[in-house]
Structure 1
Amino acid sequence: MRLTMYTDFSLRVLLYLGIKGNAELSTVQEISDAYGISKNHLTKVTHELGKMGLIETVRGRGGGIRLDMEPKDINIGETIRKTEDDFHLVECFNCEINRCVITPVCRLKGVLHEAMDAYFKVLDSYTLADFVENNEGLATILLGKTL
């Protein structure tokens, strides 16, 4: 399974906001600088995370973004499901485009579904809190300071 850059950036934004806390707002530029990634991409990501209710966006002078939920309430598996648009590992997972002639008798399809279920079972067992709480290393790298 491979995640898109969009999902990767979404998770990075959540990690940054989670490690920083909600005492002050963060900016897209600040997050872009911390990761060394495109501000334009992050702007799109933060807009969508706001629409999903994961982050709060505050407009205007002195505005910025922060988590709109507690880190313990942001499930990683659920977040990935919301940010990815295609979980078709193979052609036969998509009924609309499937032309594979062995689909009716293929046993591999079931195994791949089982693997996908296991993948999400693991992701569903973690929240953002698991990655940001008491994580001095993450704080040092992203914020340049210890917690």
Structure 2
Amino acid sequence: MQLTRHTDYALRLLIALAQSDGTRMAIADVAAAQDISRTHLMKIANQLVHAGFIEATRGRGGGIRLARDPADINIGAVVAAMEPDCGMVDCAGCALVRRCGLPGVFARARGAFADVLGQYSLADVMEG
């Protein structure tokens, strides 16, 4: 299973914000440091704001920062927020769907993946 670039960038943004020790950062600065499109990172930041992981302030002295302590930001929750429809396969239209056990296997695998991610916080990944 591979996460989308969107989720990868969201995790990178959160790590950069955690490293800033609560200082507000400009999206343009993070985008330049990470070599990510500023426009794309703005969309990601907006999604993270709506999910409650970061807060944003506009205007002079504004920027983005974590909305919570890194220990309170669960990696599994971030991935779930960024990839709500994270299916491994699309069985729609498959002639074998009624005689195939793969969807159940993939569902268990996806559940195990989510369970492992749910065991880690942003603070945990900062240590390594």
Question: Quick one: which amino acid aligns to residue 28 of structure 1?
Answer: I
Aligned to 2:16: 16
Where do 5+ consecutive residues of structure 2 fail to align?
Answer: none
Percent identity over the alignment is 41
Post-superposition shift, 1:78?
A: 1.1
Aligned equivalents of 1:91, 1:51: Cα separation in 2 = 28
Post-superposition shift, 1:27?
A: 0.8
Aligned equivalents of 1:120, 1:85: Cα separation in 2 = 12
Aligned to 1:108: 102
Aligned equivalents of 2:7, 2:93: Cα separation in 1 = 29
Aligned to 1:71: 70
Question: Quick one: which amino acid aligns to residue 98 of structure 2?
Answer: P
Aligned to 2:81: 82
Aligned to 1:37: 36
The answer to whether 1:132 aligns with 2:88 is: no
Where do 5+ consecutive residues of structure 1 fail to align?
Answer: 93-97, 136-147
Post-superposition shift, 1:118?
A: 1.1
Q: In structure 2, the residue corresponding to 1:91 is in which secondary structure? A: coil
The answer to whether 1:120 aligns with 2:114 is: yes
Question: Quick one: which amino acid aligns to residue 43 of structure 1?
Answer: M
Aligned to 2:56: 57
Q: In structure 1, the residue corresponding to 2:104 is in which secondary structure? A: helix
RMSD of aligned alpha carbons: 1.3
Aligned equivalents of 1:90, 1:47: Cα separation in 2 = 28
Q: In structure 2, the residue corresponding to 1:57 is in which secondary structure? A: strand
- Runs of 4+ aligned structure 1 residues displaced above 6 Å come to none
Post-superposition shift, 1:85?
A: 3.7
Structure 1, residues 93-114: CA drift from partner, whole Å, max 9, x if none?
xxxxx11122122122221111
Structure 1, residues 13-32: CA drift from partner, whole Å, max 9, x if none?
1010011111x211111111
Q: Provide the TM-score with structure 2 as the length reference.
A: 0.92
Aligned equivalents of 2:110, 2:71: Cα separation in 1 = 24
